[in-house]
Structure 1
Amino acid sequence: MSGKKNKRIEKNKRVWGIDEKPADIKFPEYMITSEKIEDERVKALPDEVRVRIDELHSKSKTKPEEVIPELLRFIEKYPHVPLFYNYLSNAYLIAGNIPDAEKLIVECYNKFPEYLFAKVGYANVLLKKGEGSKVPDIFDDKSNLRDLYPEREVFHISEFVAFTDTLVRYFLFSGQIDRAIPMFENLCPSGEFGLNLNFTP
């Protein structure tokens, strides 16, 4: 009985609910933050465009049809910025336009194979088509963000969640349940969203 209690106490030490976690969480290999991380391509955009990006991202979740034309214009004007492809494919998905979303995801991956959300999006398209055996190549056989991006020490929470969720899907697809379960528990310990500090990919 005391053993179970100790395990529960120990688990509570390393798991935070979404409302309880601090802004930054440090893993042995890297840090996860809820602070915005902009790549150099976004930083180089005009200030008015960067302000509009946040507005479009927020609006795309509730009224995706209204932001699609503007995102298309941004892609035409700034074709070197993968963020716009990511936001547009998400808007298509939320609007229920799966064919255009998947076409754009593949295009984004072909143009920006180093971009994490392009990798994640393409991997999920392949998994949906039953072609999950190609997924390890997308991530260079890496299941740890720091191994995939050794030059980075900080990742946004959305990057961690998207990457981990995709790996869970892949491990389930490939029958590697023993690898899928621990990663899933990092996302949803005890049935609630949170982060497990014993993350060991």
Structure 2
Amino acid sequence: MAKKSKAAKFVKPESKLESVQIVEYEITSEPIRERWYKSLPKQVKDAIDRLHDESQRRPHKAIPELIELIKKYPNIPMLYNYLSVAYSGTGEQSKAEEIIRENYQRNPDYLFARLNYAELCRAAGDYEQIAEIFEYKFDLKLLYPQRKRFHVSEVANYMGLIGMYYLGTGEQAAAKKYYEILKEVAPGYPMTKRLGRKLHPSFFRRILNRIAGQVQTESS
């Protein structure tokens, strides 16, 4: 079921937060299929849907099939995304990063190609490159003006990473704004929790200490 949600639109990321405008777009938990997906043979569609889960649960098994599919369909960006996930799952991080970079080079407009590459840049502390990846447009509707609907996973991962960007560049007020929106639209998503831990480390540490204390008490 789709739902309306408000998303914050900020001024250029390199400037201090001066004003906030509110834009609306539709957020859905239903799959959003690209136009090219509809033209694929049914067996390829079935394989893509299956490999979404298999790349996470059985990465060793998924990798050979993903490599072969990419050879046949080199312009399907999600296949690279699944392959990078599978490589990460087998501990082959260098290969995962190589695929992430290749996906971004081949498919620079694909949101998850941008997000994965931006995460590599964030880990390296290259915040200026992150801004360039998103064309200095820190709202989904600005980045993809032709779209009216976004999947909740797109919103959660995008806003979470942008929140991390603002936190890393010293604009904590902007990061908090993104976190507040995320708590409303995607409270259970890992990226929401991750941004919250970064913003409130002492709070989460107290919770972990409390849980650890309870476990120790029960075992003694």
Into which bin does the TM-score normalised by the smaller protein fall? 0.7 to 0.9
| Secondary structure of residue in 1 paired with 2:27 | strand
1:95 CA displacement: 2.3
1:52 CA displacement: 1.5
1:94 CA displacement: 2.4
CA 1:97–1:185 in 2, change beyond 3 Å: closer, same or farther? farther
Query: Is the 1:65–1:95 contact (alpha carbons within 8 Å) kept by the matching residues of 2?
Result: yes
| Secondary structure of residue in 2 paired with 1:146 | helix
Task: Indicate yes or no: 2:4 matched with 1:26.
Answer: yes
Match of 1:117 among 89, 112, 136: 112
Identity value in percent:
39
Rounded Cα–Cα distance in structure 2 between residues aligned with 1:175 and 1:96: 32
Structure 1's unaligned 5+ residue stretches are: 1-22, 195-201
| Secondary structure of residue in 2 paired with 1:29 | strand
Query: Is the 1:133–1:174 contact (alpha carbons within 8 Å) kept by the matching residues of 2?
Result: no
1:41 CA displacement: 2.2
Rounded Cα–Cα distance in structure 1 between residues aligned with 2:174 and 2:53: 34
Q: Counterpart amino acid of 2:141?
A: R
Q: Deviations over 1:113-167 (max 9, x none)?
A: 1110111111101111121221111111111111100000001111111111110
- TM-score normalised by the chain length of structure 2: 0.73
Residue correspondence of structure 1 range 128-147 to structure 2 within 5 A: 128-147=123-142
Q: Which has the higher contact order (CA 8 A, sep 6+)?
A: 1
1:185 CA displacement: 2.5
| Stretches (4+) displaced over 6 A | none
Structure 2's unaligned 5+ residue stretches are: 6-22, 190-220
Rounded Cα–Cα distance in structure 2 between residues aligned with 1:52 and 1:110: 24
Q: Counterpart amino acid of 1:168?
A: G
**Residue of structure 1 equivalent to 2:218:** none
- TM-score normalised by the chain length of structure 1: 0.80
Residue correspondence of structure 1 range 83-122 to structure 2 within 5 A: 83-122=78-117
Equivalent residues, number: 171
Rounded Cα–Cα distance in structure 1 between residues aligned with 2:171 and 2:91: 31
Query: Is the 1:41–1:80 contact (alpha carbons within 8 Å) kept by the matching residues of 2?
Result: no
